[in-house]
Chains A and B, each alone.
Chain A
Amino acid sequence: MARALINVPAKAKRGEIIAIKTLISHHMESGFRVGPMGVMIPRDIIETFVCTYNGEEIFRASLYQAIAANPFITFNTVAIASGTLEFKWTGDNGFSATESVNIIVE
């Protein structure tokens, strides 16, 4: 299972801009490297990252081979209502990981 670390403030004021930081363990093998016996190491990367806030998509990113291992993605959003932020990473070889964090907006 892929480990992930999420940093979202537990509480925020309505209308406040909040920073969301996400870090996930993934080796992001580019597919351009040569392994033992001269065989190419097949590509194995995370392709998509999506964040939804109470079911509505607020952020999406496409990742490519040049992204380093353990991608760290940070972005801002406006705290509109209490609820759940869901994070989903999908990639090669059926890779899929989800995390969710609750936020209280006052």
Chain B
Amino acid sequence: MTPTHHPSDATLFEYGGGSLSEPLALVVVTHISMCTECRDRLAEIEAIGGVMLEDLEPEALAPAAFARTLARLDEGATASSREIPRPASGGPFARSPLAPYLGDVADLPWKRLGRGIETVDVVRRRGRETRATLFKVARGTPLPSHGHRGREMTVVLEGKLYDEGGAFVAGDFIEHDADIIHRPSIPADEDCLCLIAVEGRLKFQGVFGRLIPLFVDI
């Protein structure tokens, strides 16, 4: 099935331009991996990046720069290259952009967050407060209403999620700015697996909701 909910042009520009922080970028590219339309949109944006690079006024390198680079051609991989290691195992995420982040998918370190909700910490950046988390929510589980200190981006991996703007199925992408207060929910007859990235700690609503941050780091 082709996703019908996509990142905005602005968000794709942030991913393609390279300004999006890693956890949010991971949610965007996971959607792109499930969406041929957005793959083409990204190709256009990266082509714009290529033209921008091409049209910059060149900055001359030191005269010896090329000779120095030539001398290094036969060395091994460079130390500063932060290549994400290839995952050891297959499974449903084998060819997903998520694969390098998950390690052994058969043995993910699921943590129980509350009744019907399990999570895996996928990546944290910027003082650990910007992070991407896998959520596995059992059918019919109520989720707390919450606000944000930053943006939230979600890609549905399996099942269905209701949120502002309707119902979202596998591959669909949802983005919210900091000013939204929302209460996503899960249908009564289907579990949901999704990847959610947020900037900053959540602000929970209601007496029950306000207690949550006392116990869990989300």
Binding between chains A and B? no
Which A residues are within 8 Å of any B CB, using their own CB?
A: none
